[in-house]
Amino acid sequence: MEEEIMKKYLLATIPMIMGIVCLFIKGLIGDEILADGTIVEKNFFLIPLSYLFFFSGILTFLIMALSSTFKKQTSVS
């Protein structure tokens, strides 16, 4: 029973962890400032990708929590 719950919420935590990893990688690689003052961001795509992963994980977690709440309510009634 407990393993099933862990597997269910693992589906929600993996995208959130991936979002954090994307931001961490973006911070490690860093940016470059050219001689004329222009900023070159090599991996800018990681920022919106991290937001996408993080919010999809939150949304998945909320959907799973709400569905399990409704299942408990219907089984009690």
Higher pLDDT, 41 or 8: 41
Interval 4-28 mean pLDDT: 88
Q: What is the 3-state secondary structure (H, E, C) of 22-77?
A: HHHHHHHHCEEECCCCCEEECCCCHHHHHHHHHHHHHHHHHHHHHHHHHHHHHHHC
pTM, rounded to two decimals = 0.78
For residue 17, what pLDDT is reported? Answer: 95
Reported confidence tier of residue 77, pLDDT bands at 50, 70, 90: low
- The pLDDT tens digits of the residues spanning 28-76 come to 998 899 999 999 988 999 999 999 999 999 999 999 889 888 887 777 6
For residue 2, what pLDDT is reported? Answer: 66
